[in-house]
Amino acid sequence: MPRAKFHTLTEQMFYILLCLRNECYGMDILDRVPAMTEGRVSVGSGTLYNLLEQFLEEGMIRETKVEGRRRSYVLTPKGQEMLDNEYQRIRAQAQDYLKFMGEEEA
């Protein structure tokens, strides 16, 4: 059975949506993701613009400005819900790890 689209998010998807809590251009995202993850996660321009198009189609983000080739985007309520759901999923995984490893939650 195929996985439902956007049921879970990749790291790149998660950080792109996180960036779009505040309106920004695609080029801003290319700079912000590595900065916010201390270089652990990067997004290539092809991946970014492909995902932005998919997020637009799904109603997770909306375009706010078009200035020539520059476009800015912002998260929609649906996108915020997806981001929140992914955050809760990641937290649940971390809690499972702590339980299994016999560690206390910090």
Q: What tens digit of pLDDT does each residue of 35-92 get?
A: 999 999 999 999 999 999 999 999 999 999 998 889 999 999 999 999 999 999 999 9
Helix (H, G, I), strand (E, B) or coil at 21: coil
If one compares 106 and 76, the residue with the highest pLDDT of the two is 76
B/e letters for 7-46, b = 16+ CB within 10 Å, e = fewer, are eebeebbbbbbbbbeeebebebbbebbeeeeeeeeebeee
Q: What is the distance between the alpha carbons of residues 9 and 18, in angstroms, rounded to a whole number?
A: 12
| pLDDT attached to residue 1 | 47
Q: Can you give the pLDDT at residue 104?
A: 65
Whether the Cβ atoms of residue 41 and residue 13 lie closer than 8 Å to each other: no
pLDDT per residue as tens digits for the range 5-22: 667 899 999 999 999 999
Specify the pLDDT at position 105. 57
- Determine the CATH number of domain 11-101: 1.10.10.10
- Total residues belonging to the chain: 106
pLDDT, residue 4, reads 61
DSSP tag of 66:
E
